[in-house]
Structure 1
Amino acid sequence: MLRAPFVIVFNLLRLLRYLWRWLFFKLGRRLARRRQLWVRLNLGTRRAFGPAHGLAARFQRQESYLQLRDDVDRLASSPYVKGVVLVCDDFAEGAARTADLRELILRLRRAGKRVITHTHALTGNDFDLASATDEVLLTPGGRLYLFGRRFEEIFAAELLEKVGVAAQFVHIGPFKTAAHRMIHNHGTPPQRLMMTQLLETLEQERLERQATSLALSPQTLDAAVSHMPLDARRAQAMGLVGPELHRAQLKDYLAMGARNDGFIPHPELATPDGPDERRAETNSTPAERQPVDLRSAEDWLASDPGPFQPTPLFRRRERIAVMDLSGMIVMSSTDIPGQSAASVQPSEVLPTLNALRRDPRVRAVILHINSPGGSALASEILWEAIERLRREKPVIAYCSDVAASGGYYMAVACDRIVCQPETLTGSIGVIAGKLALPGVFENLHLHVEHRERNPVGRFQSLSAPLPERALANLQQDARAFYRMFLRRVGHARQLPRRRLHRYARGRVYTGRDALIRGLVDELGGFDRAFELACELGELSAERADLHFTSHRRVSLPALLRRQVRAELPALSTLDTLRTATALLRQEQLLAICPLRPANASPS
């Protein structure tokens, strides 16, 4: 009862503020009623899945995917917005996240908004995104660099041997290939088979989707690769893009209507050879132009008050909780670079899962999983915590770019697994081992003396390789965890052990292939995961409040390090090497997925 008077006063103050904003907004739209409104939406660079909280929010340069999803809903429902211009410079999302962004574009188009892409160049997944829009405009001088997917692996076993590094690994399953590049000089037949099938499946998925969007045949699109790179005019002649246009000419182009040959660039903005050619093709005059108001999405959404939503008087709205599990899976004691920003640790995740389990407002939970794996022990601890949550509330796993090995281990604890056709998943297997540097110490004339009671204790030594007995023990231990991995998956997916073993052995699948084998439940994006959560939580999607819950505790020094890495991309490669070394020295791995989910090469 004490809550009611405070909520009433709070709602009255909010209503007064809303009415003040609404008055000025309506006045502004009244004055601009003769102008068609277009909104510019920037989709460049990689986005975090959910918004940061606290101090970390000040270091998040771009809004998250969940915030972008809300923005698109507001743009789609706005009666004032005629269309949206997407700017895709420096696009860096993975294939599965790109599929989610394509769905947002289609949502705008279904709402009657025209969507146009403008970019300086198209190199991979950005073309996949752009093909979902009504029209693609390329800057004169811009190029298409669509060379198709390409997986490249460098095998360093011979080099490591020459410099004196001993790579000692055991792996359960011939397809568990994360360490193959350090212990083999060439790819093994199972590895080549897996990589070839992944490449063919991903390419076929891409070609069919883009061919449908562009009204071309998959064969035509596939053949276009041999002509790359393409300039804007040749790409237009092949039906891949629309007219070439500088960004400063967008208002003029939109004023004459998209796909209108009557567009006449402003004389001060036109290219030397552009206006005359277009004037010769049309009898249109500048009088036909309808003025355009082109505003950034950030400015427009800040000015648009939207509908007024009062705070409930006695009870807060029931919610669907969303939690992001992205990054390497590690124990808290593992010291890896940037772990506070890009890792999944039980010490951080478990308290949040327990809070969601106790919160009566939470009807269901969506776990966004984007992890290549990591520590076997940490994966088991997280599996148990998710399983305990699932016994009380529905839990949906939405697997994004990659949910392999330890990432898939977490997913099987959920009620349903949803992923995109391009998601890399599976990799049911175990790998363990170490790198030793005896030859390096010798070449550097460093003399190492050690005392030991048993040679098995060399596992954490950089200077001494493991004896055969220790490797045999490691192999036996990895097999024991592999059997437990199979039990977890077999019980969750209701698959016989013999059949599951054929699907396992460390093999990585695309989402579509995983669905055929019963490893996932559905193909779809985040919206489908949200629908399932509402359905299992017995909650209307219109009434459900989507609430993002963060488990990350980020210190100020970690945030500053993250900013430095963003400014110096070369450090990310060094971090990767240090991360792998730290994990292999300290923990048994379910594995690190050997594939990079986001543009391993231009696709």
Structure 2
Amino acid sequence: MEFLNDYGLFLAKAVTIVIAIAAVAMVLATLAGRGRGPRGGREALEVRRLNERYRDMGRRIERTLARGRRDRRRLARREKHDTPRRGRGEARLPRLYVLDFEGDLRASAVESLREEVSAVLRNARSDDEVLVRLESGGGTVPSYGLAASQLARLRDKGIRVTICVDRVAASGGYLMAAVADHLVAAPFAVIGSIGVVAQLPNLHRLLKRHDIDYELHTAGEHKRTLTVFGENTDAGREKFREELDAVHDLFKQHLARYRPALDLPRVATGEFWLGSRARELDLVDAVGTSDDLLLERGERMDLVHLRWRRHEPLGRRLSLVLESVLARIRTSY
């Protein structure tokens, strides 16, 4: 009985700490997002021209450093000449649609990604391209599988996809990155981790020591392989490992389709490599940053940044934070 009292007190403290952390995170997220939500509705697609942003950055430097009226007049004439003007009916430049994906364990950004991809498919021409700035250390299998499928929609329609990894694309993140026609990674970006992991504690012996029974009833031989509270069997463990191997094999089949030059026995070991070494192993196609690529493409393409924003009610956002903190990931890339 004393054990149960101590455990209950510990659990109450743990839940209180988790709720406090979630509440603070929610307040910070609300403050950070205040005034930046979509206009005119609860959902909106934000469209921004990046060419003008880069052009304005250069002009601000020149204006600040200009000396005297003569320099300022010369600068004004040059800015007027550099400003692109297209006459009516003049063909538009090819567009580079820029999307951002910041992954968490549940790949929750996939909800925005699917809308952004649909918007591109609705408007893109054959000479347009897509650049995805990807950052993710992986997460749950179904979520990252769906995210990779969204990028595959672009390739299936003949739209060239470039993915840039400035920091990390590991495990499920690399599952997404591999879909690219052209994959670029920064020199010290983390790439790879082609494997599947699953872990869970087992409290059966602890419960047994304190004379606590736990019953689990299933219909179907493999409805539950391993449990947290029940007694696990060698047969259950073997079946669980079979399931992991099946997911790993599917991961490798995916890579064989999109990156056929990969030496899968060499790289599909769960290891990761930094960008420069990843290039030597054909895990990526080039070493560089998204910043350099955008500056280069901006000389000959219209850079169009897309971001789908969905306003979630406060209660929903709080529940998502709590779910993210409390969730036990059973199987993940």
TM range (shorter): 0.5 to 0.7
1:589 aligns to what? Answer: 332
Task: Check whether the contact 2:51–2:302 (CA below 8 A) recurs between aligned residues.
Answer: no
- 2:49, 2:96 → 1: CA distance? 15
2:238 aligns to what? Answer: 472
2:197 aligns to what? Answer: 431
2:306 aligns to what? Answer: 549
TM-score (norm 1): 0.39
Structure possessing the higher relative contact order (Cα contacts under 8 Å, 6 or more residues apart): 2
Root-mean-square deviation over aligned CA pairs: 3.9
2:269 aligns to what? Answer: 505
Report the CA distance between 1:75 and its aligned residue: 3.4
2:64 aligns to what? Answer: 81
Task: Check whether the contact 1:405–1:426 (CA below 8 A) recurs between aligned residues.
Answer: yes
Q: What is the identity, as a one-letter code, of the residue corresponding to 1:330?
A: R
Q: Compared with structure 1, are the counterparts of its residues 364 and 507 closer, same or farther at alpha carbon in structure 2 (3 Å cutoff)?
A: same
2:163 aligns to what? Answer: 397
Question: Is it true that 1:523 corresponds to 2:311 in the alignment?
Answer: no
Report the CA distance between 1:323 and its aligned residue: 1.2
- 2:174, 2:104 → 1: CA distance? 12
Q: Compared with structure 1, are the counterparts of its residues 351 and 526 closer, same or farther at alpha carbon in structure 2 (3 Å cutoff)?
A: same
Where 2:150 maps in the other structure, the secondary structure is helix
Question: Is it true that 1:54 corresponds to 2:38 in the alignment?
Answer: yes
1:44 aligns to what? Answer: none
Q: Compared with structure 1, are the counterparts of its residues 68 and 354 closer, same or farther at alpha carbon in structure 2 (3 Å cutoff)?
A: closer
Question: Is it true that 1:377 corresponds to 2:125 in the alignment?
Answer: no
1:330 aligns to what? Answer: 106
1:411 aligns to what? Answer: 177
- Which range is displaced more, 462-471 or 442-451? 442-451
- 1:360, 1:313 → 2: CA distance? 20
Could you report, residue by residue, the CA deviation over 1:89-110 in whole angstroms, capped at 9, with x for unpaired residues?
xxxxxxxxxxxxxxxxxxxxxx
Task: Check whether the contact 1:458–1:465 (CA below 8 A) recurs between aligned residues.
Answer: no
Task: Check whether the contact 1:424–1:511 (CA below 8 A) recurs between aligned residues.
Answer: yes
Where 1:408 maps in the other structure, the secondary structure is helix
Which sections of structure 1, spanning at least 5 residues, go unmatched? Answer: 1-47, 56-65, 84-305, 332-342, 535-540, 566-571, 591-603
Report the CA distance between 1:355 and its aligned residue: 2.7
- 1:75, 1:427 → 2: CA distance? 38
Q: How many residues align?
A: 274
Could you report, residue by residue, the CA deviation over 1:44-95 in whole angstroms, capped at 9, with x for unpaired residues?
xxxx9xx96516xxxxxxxxxx999975652333322239xxxxxxxxxxxx
Larger radius of gyration: 1
Task: Check whether the contact 2:225–2:240 (CA below 8 A) recurs between aligned residues.
Answer: no
1:359 is aligned, of 98, 123, 140, to 123
Where 1:372 maps in the other structure, the secondary structure is coil
Where 2:166 maps in the other structure, the secondary structure is strand
Q: Compared with structure 1, are the counterparts of its residues 559 and 316 closer, same or farther at alpha carbon in structure 2 (3 Å cutoff)?
A: farther
2:260 aligns to what? Answer: 494
TM-score (norm 2): 0.67
1:452 aligns to what? Answer: 218
Where 1:542 maps in the other structure, the secondary structure is coil
Task: Check whether the contact 1:425–1:510 (CA below 8 A) recurs between aligned residues.
Answer: yes
Which sections of structure 2, spanning at least 5 residues, go unmatched? Answer: 1-31, 40-47, 67-78
Task: Check whether the contact 1:366–1:529 (CA below 8 A) recurs between aligned residues.
Answer: no
- 1:322, 1:398 → 2: CA distance? 11
1:321 aligns to what? Answer: 97
Q: Compared with structure 1, are the counterparts of its residues 399 and 319 closer, same or farther at alpha carbon in structure 2 (3 Å cutoff)?
A: same
Task: Check whether the contact 1:434–1:459 (CA below 8 A) recurs between aligned residues.
Answer: no
2:109 is aligned, of 321, 341, 344, to 344
